Structure 1
Amino acid sequence: MAEKRILWLLWLFAGTAQALCPRWTPVRATEEIAQLQQQLRSWDQAYYRDGQTLIDDTLYDSLQQRLRQWQRCFQPAIAPDRSVWADNGTVDHPVAHTGVKKLPDKLAVAYWMQDKEALWVQPKVDGVAVTLVYRQGKLAALISRGDGLKGQSWLDKAAAIPAIPREIPDKSDELVLQGELFLTVTAHQQAKQGGVNARAQVAGALMRQTPSPLLAQLGVFIWAWPDGPKTMAMRQAALKQLGFGLASAWTQPVASEEDVARWRDRWFHAPLPFVTDGVVIHQDKRSTGKQWMPGSSEEIAAWKYNPPIVSSEVQSIDFPVGRTGKIAVVLNVAPVQLDDKTVRRVNLGSLARWQALDIVPGDQVVIGLAGQGIPRFEKVIWRVTQRNRPDAPNPEQYHSLSCFDNSPHCRKQFLSRLSWLSQKDVLDLPGIQRSTWQRLILHPDFLHLFSWLNMDIEQLSAVPGVTPQRARQLRHYFDRVQHQPFRRWVKALGVPLPSAALNALPDDDWDGLLARSAHDWQQLPGMGATLAEKVVNWLKDKQVRALIDFIQQRRASQQQAE
């Protein structure tokens, strides 16, 4: 358990470290906070007044968390932001809604569970929280959660919801239950179908002024009985007698975080009658209802599923240039967890797309996962008011015949060319990554794409970060590469040939390759007239010819030495 404590603290401090304050002037901070607050209130109005969800709950929560962070940074004396619409309830809850403590991962679950006994897990049903009040066995109130102390009366909607008994066998003066009104579904698999906007549909049906036919499709999942029977087993048995038997089938005892993880995974993939967004862990016994207060109760905790999308702040923007001169745009974002991956970079695509989207550092973007778990940009959900656009490369300066030389202007494309020729199916230079080339090109004799062929051990050792032992290893790889087949050198140079044409190439020397006419190139698979002409012109380029001459001279010197 000591190890778990240490890991928990590391997680806590890591989260704190990420919550850094932006480098804004007070004037800009006030403007940014006001703009985001205004947008959140607009979404609140659509949700609470009109029953419309204009933004995913996860994304809303992340933006509100960001706003609160800004307030802590620049307006510490002001109370943290919260929805004014959530505070517009007029009916008191007999017992406050406490909310649940959110746990980010299995380690946090283990830490929370320590020293607690008799724990139970339930699915975290994704719906709308309510209080049900029965007096002398008759339904007397149905109250929305609101701010946890006051909510709206939805009693007029109860008659249209068959899942809520109008009368129960218990004739106590007052019996209070807390639970979730949810959209009933058939064999819903969270892993495959996601949230299907279920919560918003429920909220919309309850908030409409006119009766909604959707009310008949609502179910109720009771997850709390303040001041009810002492143990979970007793509460579930009694709830079944009252007509609320659903939860008993979905309440399981757990003794460790592994047990919780197994049920969480099982319910994530199993067909369920409701939509879920995680699991909730309950203590067997709870404090008396008069002690319950809004906030995060330590007696109940939730471990939510990883959302299919997350939002993050753009911290900076890179413009990598590929070996053929194509310019890409990469967003560097504040680290976020998506599925089992920590995402720090998202490929946006082309310059034209970036310019159309108009993304700048400080903007909040939504990230999802494409096939094979690759982070994918989805959309912008918030734009900072001050638009500081980074300088992008000029696309006219980069093409398939640019940057064979080591110059500051060409550094990105030049490194991409070197990284390409290192690959196993090109010249196969094992262990020589982009970072290795970044060091080597600092040497004053590294002038062009194949200068490394002439670098001896002494020159390599003079490069910062390259030890004599590493220099000997590099020289060994450089010597060995001289014996690679001719087609690999053609590929390393970057001749724009499709794989089928390269594999069918009959030439085994540069003279034969250069003697080919456009007609000759068209005889190879995948080579049309336009591409054939392009290859002929490409091979006539002065830089290309100079590199070919260098390779030929180097090969001749190697053969003489052997």
Structure 2
Amino acid sequence: MHLIKWFILTFLILSYSTSSLSECTTNPQEHLEAKELMQLLNQWNLAYYEQGISLVTDAVYDQSLQRFFHLQVCYPELNLVALSTQATQQVKHPFAHTGLNKLPTSKAVQQWINERSNQTLWVQPKADGVAVSLIYTNGKLSQAISRGKNGVGQDWTAKVRNLPNVPQQINTHLTQVVLQGELVWRLTNHIQAKQTSQGARSQIAGFMQRQQTDAEEAKKVEVYIWDWPNSGLSMQAQLNQLTSWGFIRSQGLTQPVKSLNDVQHWQNHWYTQPLFMATDGVVLRQQQRPLPETWQEQPPSWAIAWKHPAQQAVTRVSKITYTVGRTGRITPLLELEPFELDQRTISRTSLGSLNKLKQLDVQKGDLVTIQLAGLTLPQLDEVLVRSQPRSKTNHPPEDAFHFLSCLQAKAINKSPYPKGCKQQFIARLTWLSSYQALNMQGISEGTWALLLDAGLLKDLTSWLALTVEDLQPLAGIGTKRSRLLALNFYLARQQPLEVWLSALGMPPSGTDKLFNQQEVKHWQTLAARSLEDWQALSGVGKKRAQDLLEFFNHPVIQEQAEFLANKGVKGFAKP
């Protein structure tokens, strides 16, 4: 598989290189990247061709190879080692057995279908295994040949004769039967959309390359036949005959289609429903095609592949930024060169924590692989090539922010990290107005940023004093919205104490009720509690009790509680 791609991409890059040589400039970082990509590709090729092991996914291999060829134009002294397979006997295929061209988008699939409106079309899952030709002479398996290249492949006959799931004899009067298909590693209820390929191709490739294999391994190899080139039969008749010969894995895996919707239905079905094998897309075939004796050693026009949405991509880190949440947690973000993944454009991903950033030692300029976690969220998989020289990191310390930092607007300019402090202050206000807290309609992060930039916010509660006249002059507010904001501010005063405590960021207080029956439900009751009082609550440990004590005794929180009492918020005024 890698070999075919290598030749195709070599042709493309050679045709591209002539016009690009004049654009080359001396760039030490590019030269280093090309050199390290060359070493990686040589390592991957060596593992694949000598051990039958794929160290990376097809997507990562293809994209890394493309990047290398693009850079190699300017550094022609860098070359990949000659690709070779084990020295086994090479035999000629009866009929050309080649790879398929791949369609990049659903639009291209639609066009391919439209061009064959007078044809009967079929769709099949694209097996993620190793291609094979099986030749039966007078009903007996006489040869098994790997796909190979240039019309010849490795002689796998001896190995295939020891595979119990490959019929060794078929009941036929025909002198010769040539079947084309895939040897795959059997998986149990494999769902491609959830489990990727579980290294299935590596396992079957390694099995076929090894000289010694055991009988238990052989039982895990299945054969999936997707074509009988010289049958002269309709596809349905082919399938019926294959089933009667014992090729049971082909059942239900060839379906008639007339439209893109049909193709998408089966693509989604085989992608999301259990199968016995890994797949990496679907294959479309037309019923009528030239006689197999005339097939050429190149991808045919009458069959095409459409791969599953990519789940992994290679890209470069263009910048590292940080966001600070309302509790002071610092989250590093990787800004990436934009790329397509699962039909989405992705340009950033979160690393979750500063610790992870330090452990992975990711820096600007690094070449990385990104995959979709749970098929939804992009996340860093690994660093492929590290930029050089490595700069001294200047990450903000983990204790730069905490759950009681940035409680006032004036703290922003005083902070050694003003941008992060501003983020935390606005994150606090965004939480305060959310449905989990005061549930203030029509007030978002952008609203708070606008009020802060206008100098109208002192702390987490000063907005209660704002009037329509204060708000109306602001750009983007206007009369109608200023009245809505003022109404929300008024309604916030009516919220109970417990809601306000959550809005101000009080740490969780365990599973017990906040007040005992004999206690007065007021701020002062909570502020008077000791460390032991807080720790006595169910679900509150020593650390949480200390946090609660610090919250109620923090001078800024106390100042804001007094302001709320003056504004008539129930539960803050003294009983």
User: TM over 0.5, yes or no?
Assistant: yes
Q: Which residue of 2 aligns with 1:75?
A: 73
Which has the higher mean CA deviation after the structures are superposed, 400-409 or 412-421?
A: 400-409
Q: Which residue of 2 aligns with 1:47?
A: 48
The answer on 1:294 being equivalent to 2:298 is yes
Kept after mapping to 1: 8 A contact 2:314/2:367: no
Name which of 537, 546, 554 aligns with 2:550: 537
The answer on 1:452 being equivalent to 2:463 is yes
TM superposition score normalised by structure 2: 0.78
Distance 1:84 1:215 in 2: 31
Cα shift at 1:480:
1.8
Distance 2:324 2:25 in 1: 31
Q: Deviations over 1:399-458 (max 9, x none)?
A: 222111222511121122111111113121223222222222111233323332233334
Q: Helix, strand or coil: the match of 1:151?
A: strand
Distance 1:390 1:495 in 2: 34
Cα shift at 1:283:
0.9
The answer on 1:281 being equivalent to 2:284 is yes
Residue 502 and residue 33 in structure 1: after superposition, are their counterparts in 2 closer, same or farther (change >3 A)? farther
2:29 aligned partner, one-letter code: R
Distance 1:404 1:432 in 2: 19
TM superposition score normalised by structure 1: 0.79
Q: Helix, strand or coil: the match of 1:123?
A: strand
Which has the higher mean CA deviation after the structures are superposed, 243-252 or 532-541?
A: 243-252
Q: Which residue of 2 aligns with 1:357?
A: 360
Kept after mapping to 2: 8 A contact 1:124/1:302: yes
Which has the higher mean CA deviation after the structures are superposed, 242-251 or 121-130?
A: 242-251
Q: Deviations over 1:444-480 (max 9, x none)?
A: 2333233322333344344444344333322221222
Q: Which residue of 1 aligns with 2:115?
A: 115
Q: Helix, strand or coil: the match of 1:483?
A: coil
Q: Any residues of structure 2 matched to 1:333-344 within 5 Å, and which?
A: 333=336, 334-338=338-342
Cα shift at 1:45:
0.9
1:538 aligned partner, one-letter code: F
Residue 192 and residue 385 in structure 1: after superposition, are their counterparts in 2 closer, same or farther (change >3 A)? closer
Distance 1:86 1:283 in 2: 34
Distance 1:34 1:435 in 2: 46
Cα shift at 1:355:
0.4
Q: Which residue of 1 aligns with 2:128?
A: 126
Name which of 477, 493, 496 aligns with 2:488: 477
1:434 aligned partner, one-letter code: E
**Structure 1: unaligned runs, 5 residues or longer:** 1-22
Which has the higher mean CA deviation after the structures are superposed, 268-277 or 42-51?
A: 268-277
**Structure 2: unaligned runs, 5 residues or longer:** 1-23
Which has the higher mean CA deviation after the structures are superposed, 150-159 or 275-284?
A: 150-159
Distance 2:510 2:169 in 1: 73
Q: Which residue of 1 aligns with 2:503?
A: 492
Cα shift at 1:158:
3.4
Q: Helix, strand or coil: the match of 2:55?
A: coil
Q: Deviations over 1:337-396 (max 9, x none)?
A: 45x8776554322211220111234332343434xx662646315133334676422223
Residue 474 and residue 147 in structure 1: after superposition, are their counterparts in 2 closer, same or farther (change >3 A)? farther
Distance 2:26 2:271 in 1: 45
The answer on 1:441 being equivalent to 2:452 is yes
Q: Which residue of 1 aligns with 2:10?
A: none
Residue 69 and residue 464 in structure 1: after superposition, are their counterparts in 2 closer, same or farther (change >3 A)? farther
Q: Helix, strand or coil: the match of 1:392?
A: coil
Cα RMSD, aligned residues only:
4.0
Q: Helix, strand or coil: the match of 1:426?
A: coil
Q: Which residue of 1 aligns with 2:322?
A: 319
Kept after mapping to 2: 8 A contact 1:121/1:279: yes
Distance 1:307 1:176 in 2: 33
Kept after mapping to 2: 8 A contact 1:26/1:74: no
Percentage of identical aligned residues: 32
Q: Any residues of structure 2 matched to 1:359-508 within 5 Å, and which?
A: 359-361=362-364, 362-370=366-374, 375=377, 377=379, 379-380=381-382, 382-386=384-388, 387=390, 391-406=394-409, 407-408=412-413, 409=418, 410-498=421-509, 500=511, 503-504=514-515, 506-508=519-521
Distance 2:160 2:528 in 1: 86
2:553 aligned partner, one-letter code: K
Residue 76 and residue 88 in structure 1: after superposition, are their counterparts in 2 closer, same or farther (change >3 A)? farther
Distance 1:435 1:70 in 2: 43
Residue 228 and residue 24 in structure 1: after superposition, are their counterparts in 2 closer, same or farther (change >3 A)? farther
Q: Deviations over 1:203-255 (max 9, x none)?
A: 11211123443345433333234465274345546666877675365322112
Which has the higher mean CA deviation after the structures are superposed, 101-110 or 415-424?
A: 101-110
Residue 513 and residue 220 in structure 1: after superposition, are their counterparts in 2 closer, same or farther (change >3 A)? closer
Q: Which residue of 2 aligns with 1:151?
A: 153
Q: Which residue of 2 aligns with 1:12?
A: none
Kept after mapping to 1: 8 A contact 2:368/2:383: yes
Cα shift at 1:300:
1.7
Residue 389 and residue 103 in structure 1: after superposition, are their counterparts in 2 closer, same or farther (change >3 A)? farther
Residue 183 and residue 530 in structure 1: after superposition, are their counterparts in 2 closer, same or farther (change >3 A)? closer
Q: Which residue of 1 aligns with 2:30?
A: 29
Q: Which residue of 2 aligns with 1:552?
A: 565
Q: Helix, strand or coil: the match of 1:262?
A: helix
Residue 88 and residue 474 in structure 1: after superposition, are their counterparts in 2 closer, same or farther (change >3 A)? farther
Q: Helix, strand or coil: the match of 2:493?
A: helix
| Alignment: residue pair count | 527
Distance 1:236 1:438 in 2: 65
Q: Helix, strand or coil: the match of 2:281?
A: strand
Cα shift at 1:39:
0.6
Distance 1:466 1:30 in 2: 53
Kept after mapping to 1: 8 A contact 2:367/2:384: yes
